[in-house]
């Protein structure tokens, strides 16, 4: 590996490897197929880039082996072909490699024919070591014919390899056609790389690509420098600001579920004085690139984006990642949240979620999603609503043992979850209901019984006659389903079989006898975490008006531009006044009127404006009173 270390230091400036990098590189140099899973930030790209500049065992011994097999004595291939799903991702990596002096190139649909010919000429002359292609481009007859004719490919690196598996979180059918590479290039090894893959996905990747006795290398999925918090969404803008204020001037990503939410959240942050930029598929390519470049170059602190942003982003100092809604799988969450703290320093990941997120995703998937996708969504829902260590839950989801009782880096282990004061009583009611249902029904049915829903199946089994029918009616079925999941995670209930039927465990039966201390969340929201800012954050609806007021528009003008009633716009104006600390009401209220209101402000001692209004016998409007008092703080 002496040559490898020389290359690593010469081109990347590193003196040592991160975990599993050396082993992964060795499999490539040895010409053995492999599957490497390294979490986001663990440096998987180096694993397939470094060997392209090194000599491997097959370079030294290949000529003799091929002669014995009757395939001639030509030199071994010198080109590594990297398969990547996004043009922007390929462009970023190739640009970075060129800056290091690495002979790399890409071919894509945006290039001119002249540019493509230049790349082909460099391959013919043996001047390239790394060639980046999308799977569609690689698998075209023209490209395959050219590469086979040149006999230049030493190995293929399949990046984002989870895309090949229908069990993965970003399945792409074109990736499955890559299995032809083993047949068409028998002398080239194939190496799959991904940041997130469960055991089932790993096995499927190896099978779909036809890897020959591959070496499996799986890194540690835990990111101990990340603090996970998963509070229920309430006043989202306030919750976002609590996180942002804990990281003043630092880089962060805010993921939203829709383009509209990206735009409104960006506008809110900018109005509040933060350097934020949007990123979503509704923007033009140049707009997205410009905003991404500003973020990468530290000319923008906060990127507000849909999941269209992030793949391949190599910014080490992202200090926080916020999700304003629940992702559709643990794999997605692991990858997106994992963009924080890639430099190993402490960083924060906050996921704001609500039961509605589950319903939205479920509607999106209706009729089109596989059972695998639905199971992934359910697993994400369970992670959000669980009361066990977040680090432990994520690591065990990917099939690894955590081995630590308390991580000290999540809202559960930090004691930030607000537990229901009647946890034990509610838990006994739920377990008792499961027992009375003869352990033959799932969580959805139990929740409908407990909340008193007399639907067809409840009536069919006469479950409206059970003692537990309607006992938790004030909470609603979704809240009860959350509690059922929490009781499953604490081993008071179990779920099994194709219909996910519930049963009381031995611990659950002991609970019915008065033994046990189950934990159920109150509203699902966390306690106010340390370091949060008690700062006034107006609603997003009012923030839209702030820029108009900043430009000097009158109440009447803003009402006209926003199609709102003047009384509503006045409320937005009072938000604007308080947020900016304005103490002069005269731009909106006549000076003499403001003086009269302030002279009688004691009449509104309990916060009610009617005594002041009545005092002036209608000569001063409610809006004038509100504006004047908003300035008097």
The answer, yes or no, to whether residue 431 has pLDDT greater than 90, is: yes
Rg of the Cα atoms in the chain: 30
The answer, yes or no, to whether residue 413 has pLDDT greater than 60, is: yes
Which sign does the torsion angle of CA 565, 567, 569, 571 carry?
A: negative
The answer, yes or no, to whether residue 312 has pLDDT greater than 70, is: no
What is the rounded distance in angstroms from the CA atom of residue 16 to the CA atom of residue 77?
Answer: 28
Q: Give the pLDDT confidence of 447-489 residue by residue, as tens digits.
A: 999 999 988 999 999 999 999 999 999 888 888 999 998 999 8
Residue 427: φ, ψ to 5°: -60, -40
Q: Given this model, what pLDDT does residue 435 score? A: 95
CA-wise closest residue to 439 among 494, 503, 489: 503
Q: Map residue 281 onto helix, strand or coil.
A: coil
| pLDDT band with cut points at 50, 70 and 90 for residue 143 | very high
Residue whose structure tokens are 């994520």 = 394
Longest dimension (CA), the chain: 108
What is the rounded distance in angstroms from the CA atom of residue 13 to the CA atom of residue 7?
Answer: 9
Least confident piece of the model among 53-62, 562-571, 588-597: 53-62
The CA-atom distances, in angstroms, between 75 and each of 55, 69, 103, 296 are 12, 15, 19, 41
- HSE at residue 194, side-chain half, CA atoms within 13 A, is 27
To the nearest whole number, what is the mean pLDDT of the chain?
88
Q: Given this model, what pLDDT does residue 527 score? A: 52
Q: Which of the two residues, 84 and 529, has the higher pLDDT score?
A: 84
Q: Give the pLDDT confidence of 589-627 residue by residue, as tens digits.
A: 999 999 999 999 888 766 678 889 889 998 999 899 999
What is the rounded distance in angstroms from the CA atom of residue 133 to the CA atom of residue 189?
Answer: 17
Pairing of strands 79-83, 153-158: parallel
Least confident piece of the model among 29-33, 65-69, 403-407, 575-579: 65-69
What is the rounded distance in angstroms from the CA atom of residue 315 to the CA atom of residue 253?
Answer: 11
Which H or E run contains 405? Answer: none
What is the rounded distance in angstroms from the CA atom of residue 450 to the CA atom of residue 433?
Answer: 7
Pairing of strands 153-158, 347-351: unpaired
Q: Given this model, what pLDDT does residue 67 score? A: 37
CA angle 433, 437, 440 (to 5 degrees): 130
Q: Given this model, what pLDDT does residue 234 score? A: 84
Residue 42: φ, ψ to 5°: -90, 0
Which sign does the torsion angle of CA 507, 512, 518, 522 carry?
A: positive
Q: Given this model, what pLDDT does residue 551 score? A: 85
Tokens of 176: 């499955």
549 in Cβ contact with 576 (< 8 Å):
yes
143 in Cβ contact with 306 (< 8 Å):
no
- Note the helical H segments in 50-140: 57-68, 87-99, 113-124, 135-138
Least confident piece of the model among 111-125, 275-289, 521-535: 521-535
Q: Which of the two residues, 22 and 578, has the higher pLDDT score?
A: 22
Least confident piece of the model among 130-134, 189-193, 524-528: 524-528
Q: Map residue 613 onto helix, strand or coil.
A: helix
Q: Given this model, what pLDDT does residue 340 score? A: 95
Tokens of 178: 């890559």
29 in Cβ contact with 51 (< 8 Å):
yes
The answer, yes or no, to whether residue 32 has pLDDT greater than 90, is: yes
Q: Map residue 527 onto helix, strand or coil.
A: coil
Q: Map residue 50 onto helix, strand or coil.
A: helix
Q: Given this model, what pLDDT does residue 360 score? A: 84
Total count of residues recorded for the chain: 633
CA-wise closest residue to 305 among 373, 375, 255: 255
Q: Map residue 271 onto helix, strand or coil.
A: helix
The answer, yes or no, to whether residue 26 has pLDDT greater than 90, is: yes
Which sign does the torsion angle of CA 396, 398, 400, 405 carry?
A: negative
Q: Given this model, what pLDDT does residue 368 score? A: 62
What is the rounded distance in angstroms from the CA atom of residue 339 to the CA atom of residue 251?
Answer: 11
- Cβ–Cβ contacts within 10 Å for residue 622, how many? 13
Burial class of residue 438 (count of CB atoms within 10 Å of its CB; 0-12, 13-18, 19+): exposed
CA angle 542, 242, 342 (to 5 degrees): 125
What is the rounded distance in angstroms from the CA atom of residue 43 to the CA atom of residue 129?
Answer: 19
Across 411-438, average pLDDT: 94
Q: Given this model, what pLDDT does residue 441 score? A: 94
Q: Given this model, what pLDDT does residue 70 score? A: 35
The answer, yes or no, to whether residue 532 has pLDDT greater than 70, is: no
CA-wise closest residue to 330 among 389, 363, 378: 378
| pLDDT band with cut points at 50, 70 and 90 for residue 79 | very high
Q: Given this model, what pLDDT does residue 575 score? A: 86
80 in Cβ contact with 157 (< 8 Å):
yes
Q: Given this model, what pLDDT does residue 607 score? A: 67
Residue whose structure tokens are 């049915």 = 445
264 in Cβ contact with 304 (< 8 Å):
no
Secondary structure of 303-359 as H, E, C letters: EEECCCCCCCCCCCCEEEEEECCCCCCHHHHHHHHCCCCCCCCCEEEEECECHHHHH
What is the rounded distance in angstroms from the CA atom of residue 326 to the CA atom of residue 581?
Answer: 35
């Amino acid at each position: 590996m002496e040559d490898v270390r020389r290359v690593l230091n010469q081109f990347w400036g590193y003196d040592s490897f991160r975990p599993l990098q050396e082993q992964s590189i060795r499999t490539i140099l040895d010409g053995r197929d492999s599957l490497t899973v390294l979490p986001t930030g663990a440096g998987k790209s180096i694993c397939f880039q470094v060997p392209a500049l090194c000599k491997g065992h097959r370079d030294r011994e290949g000529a003799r082996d091929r002669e014995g097999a009757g395939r001639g004595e030509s030199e071994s291939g010198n080109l590594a072909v990297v398969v990547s799903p996004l043009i922007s991702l390929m462009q970023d990596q190739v640009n970075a490699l060129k800056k290091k002096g690495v002979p790399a190139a890409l071919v894509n649909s945006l290039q001119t024919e002249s540019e493509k010919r230049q790349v082909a000429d460099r391959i013919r002359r043996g001047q390239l070591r790394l060639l980046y292609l999308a799977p569609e481009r690689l698998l075209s007859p023209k490209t395959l014919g050219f590469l086979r004719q040149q006999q230049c490919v030493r190995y293929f690196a399949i990046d984002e390899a989870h895309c090949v598996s229908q069990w993965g979180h970003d399945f792409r059918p074109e990736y499955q056609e890559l299995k032809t590479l083993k047949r068409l290039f028998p002398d080239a090894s194939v190496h799959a790389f991904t940041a997130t893959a469960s055991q089932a996905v790993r096995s499927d990747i190896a099978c779909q690509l036809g890897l020959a006795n591959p070496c499996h290398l799986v890194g540690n999925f835990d990111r101990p420098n990340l603090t996970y918090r998963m509070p229920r969404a309430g006043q989202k803008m306030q919750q976002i600001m609590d996180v942002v204020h804990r990281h003043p001037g630092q880089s962060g990503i805010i993921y939203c579920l829709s383009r509209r939410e990206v735009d409104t959240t960006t506008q809110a942050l900018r109005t509040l004085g933060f350097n934020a930029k949007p990123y979503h598929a509704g923007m033009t390519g140049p707009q997205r690139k410009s905003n991404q470049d500003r973020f990468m170059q530290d000319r923008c602190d906060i990127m507000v984006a849909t999941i269209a942003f992030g793949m391949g982003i190599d910014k080490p100092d992202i200090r926080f990642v916020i999700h304003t809604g629940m992702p559709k799988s643990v794999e997605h969450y692991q990858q997106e949240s994992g963009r924080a703290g890639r430099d190993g320093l402490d960083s924060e990941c906050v996921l704001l979620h609500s039961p509605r997120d589950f319903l939205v995703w479920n509607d999106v998937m209706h009729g089109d999603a596989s059972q695998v996708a639905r199971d992934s969504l359910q697993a994400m829902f369970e992670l959000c609503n669980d009361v066990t260590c977040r680090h432990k839950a994520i690591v065990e989801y990917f099939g690894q043992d955590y081995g630590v009782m308390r991580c000290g880096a999540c809202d559960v282990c930090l004691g930030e979850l607000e537990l229901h004061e009647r946890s034990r009583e509610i838990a006994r009611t739920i377990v008792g209901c499961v027992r009375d249902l003869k352990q033959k029904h799932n969580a959805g049915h139990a929740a409908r019984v407990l909340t008193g829903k007399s639907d067809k199946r409840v009536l069919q089994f006469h479950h409206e006659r059970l003692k537990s029918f309607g006992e938790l009616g004030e909470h609603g079925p979704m809240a009860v389903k959350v509690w059922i999941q929490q009781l499953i995670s604490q081993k008071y209930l179990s779920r099994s079989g194709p219909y996910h039927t519930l049963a009381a465990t031995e611990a659950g039966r002991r609970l019915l006898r008065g033994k046990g201390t189950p934990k159920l969340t109150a509203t699902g929201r966390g306690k106010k975490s340390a370091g949060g800012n008690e700062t006034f954050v107006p609603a997003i609806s009012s923030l839209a008006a702030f820029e108009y007021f900043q430009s000097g528009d009158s109440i009447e003008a803003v009402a006209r531009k926003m199609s709102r009633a003047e009384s509503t716009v006045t409320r937005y104006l009072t938000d604007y006044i308080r947020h900016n600390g304005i103490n002069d009401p005269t731009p909106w209220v006549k000076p003499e009127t403001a003086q009269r209101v302030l002279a009688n402000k004691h009449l509104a001692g309990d916060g009610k404006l009617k005594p002041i209004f009545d005092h002036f016998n209608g000569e001063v409007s409610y809006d004038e009173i509100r504006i004047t008092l908003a300035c008097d703080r």
